[in-house]
Amino acid sequence: MDKIVIAGGQRLRGEIQVSGAKNAALPLLASSLLSTGASTWHNVPNLNDVSTMGKLLRRLGCEVSSASDATADGQDTLIIHPYRVEKAGFTAPYELVKTMRASVLVLGPLAARYGRARVSLPGGCAIGARPIDMHLRALEAMGAQISLDHGYVDLSVPHGRLRGSNIVFDVPTVTGTENILMAAALARGRSVIENAAREPEVEELAIVLNKMGARIQGAGTAVIQVEGVEELHPIEHAILPDRIEAGTFLVAAAIAGDDVLVKDCRPEHLDAVMAKLRTSGVRMEIEEGGIRVFGNRDLDIQAVDVTTQPHPGFPTDMQAQFMVLACCAHGQSVIKETIFENRFMHVPELSRMGADIHIDGRVAIIRGRRPLAGATVMATDLRASASLVLAGLVAKGRTEVLRVYHLDRGYERIERKLRAIGAHIERVEA
Ligand code: EPU
């Protein structure tokens, strides 16, 4: 299995490009199931999770083809045509769902457009139990009949069409809101989703569905209103930049950079992350082309306390990366994880590199400025693996990050991007 090898201590300088957002691409590609023809998606990141979604959509009877895209900086274009979904059996099999929980995003579109779905239950994952009970309850409220059968969610819609409904989520759920948004777009009548997730990716999905002909208002706020329509038509759309990849590069630049431009990101999606970076003393400027970070050689970073929250709060997907910033900071930082119950798997690995981190339940206390030393490390999820790469950039000596497939799920060619701005980092094929 491939590994990433880093020789720490190099200064980063130059421009680093942000790719299309994984967590926008996944619901958007799934939304292709809703339309009457072939949709074209530009700026699709080249990630394992995206190819898993491609495989799943093929399995569900879509034609998925790629085209090289001259207009979007050489990044990938996918064309998805749901041309024979009725013949393909409406099944998202365990083999695919177990490799990517976001496979559950086909449930809403299948229920809405075809009135049938059989989707494997994802089960727990490394960062927490992550049930989908809120997705299922909302679909039931819209008239779907759901039973659990040998690990599968078996869904059918009597009379073929969901009905609009008032949905109140117990807590904001990102993929839950996305599933119900897609379901409501083609339901009969009006739906209101309360306590909806406000993440930019949810808003992007609503923009796209409206382009397809849906009637959605309020996405990006906690209350979304949807007037169901009869039909949605195919569109062409470029996926927004990945705010978590951008945030990861901001931290890299803050701890190891001299002058780095994180290119083509959307600063308005990074408010909470930038606010915390500023509190810790990192100097940044928003430019037309992105965010410029002026790192400082003396690593004059101050401790910073962080509590993860649903958007617009501080994202759980940046918690592990901020832990590395805290390791480099003067003083004691407190990081509290409120979204997932088991998202500190990077801590034992960072400790092996010399970090001083104490965990008490969902709180991590980090005493900064302990020298980090390169080591062989591995993590069991995507953002934890990204934090180990960041730690490797500032550690003394050689760091090997194993289980690179976690990184490949959510970061497009991270080693090439970091190498281009001066990191000594390479992928070693096993
Ligand atoms: N939850 C339930 N029941 C449900 C749904 C969620 O109890 O039916 C709980 C979860 O267990 C969690 C909380 O609600 O405690 C919020 O989870 P949410 O549903 O919002 O998470 P998700 O939709 O499964 C997405 C991202 C994650 C990101 C979270 C939180 C995608 C494909 N995934 O997951 O991204 O961490 O929102 O922002 O959008 C990542 O990219 O590394 C990643 C894990």
Span 399-425, pLDDT tens digits? 999 999 999 999 999 999 999 999 999
**392 or 429, higher pLDDT:** 392
Which protein residue has the closest C-alpha to ligand 1 atom 10? 130
Residue nearest to atom 29 of ligand 1 (CA): 174
> Could you tell me if the CB of 205 is within 6 A of ligand 1?
no
pLDDT at residue 264, rounded to an integer: 93
Closest Cα to atom 9, ligand 1: which residue? 130
Q: pLDDT per residue over 5-53, tens digit each?
A: 999 999 999 999 999 999 999 999 999 999 999 999 999 999 999 999 9
* pLDDT class of 300 with cuts at 50, 70, 90: confident
How many A from CA of 209 to the centre of ligand 1?
Answer: 21
Determine whether the shortest distance from the Cβ of 26 to ligand 1 is under 6 A.
Answer: yes
For ligand 1, atom 36, which residue shows the shortest CA distance? 317
Output the CA 185–ligand 1 centroid distance in Å.
22
Six-digit token string for 266: 């959307």
Write down the catalytic residue from 125, 265, 327, 328: 125
User: Which numbered atom of ligand 1 lies nearest the CA of 311?
Assistant: 38
340 Cβ below 6 A of ligand 1: yes
Does ligand 1 have an atom closer than 6 angstroms to the CB of 206? no
Q: Tell me what the pLDDT averaged over the chain comes to.
A: 95
pLDDT digits (tens, 9 = 90+) for 322-356: 999 999 999 999 999 999 999 999 999 999 999 99
Q: What is the model's pLDDT at position 321? A: 98
Active site residue 327: no
- What pLDDT digit, counting tens, does each position of 61-103 carry? 999 999 865 444 555 899 999 999 999 999 999 999 999 999 9
Which residues, 6 or more positions from 157, have their beta carbon under 8 angstroms from its beta carbon?
111, 115, 116, 143, 144, 145
Percent of the chain topping pLDDT 70:
97
| Residue 72: predicted pLDDT | 46
**202 Cβ inside 6 Å of ligand 1:** no
* Ligand 1 nearest-atom number relative to CA 23: 39
Dist. CA 6 → ligand 1 center (Å): 31
Task: Provide the residue type at 182 as one letter.
Answer: M
Q: Is the CB of 339 under 6 A from ligand 1?
A: yes
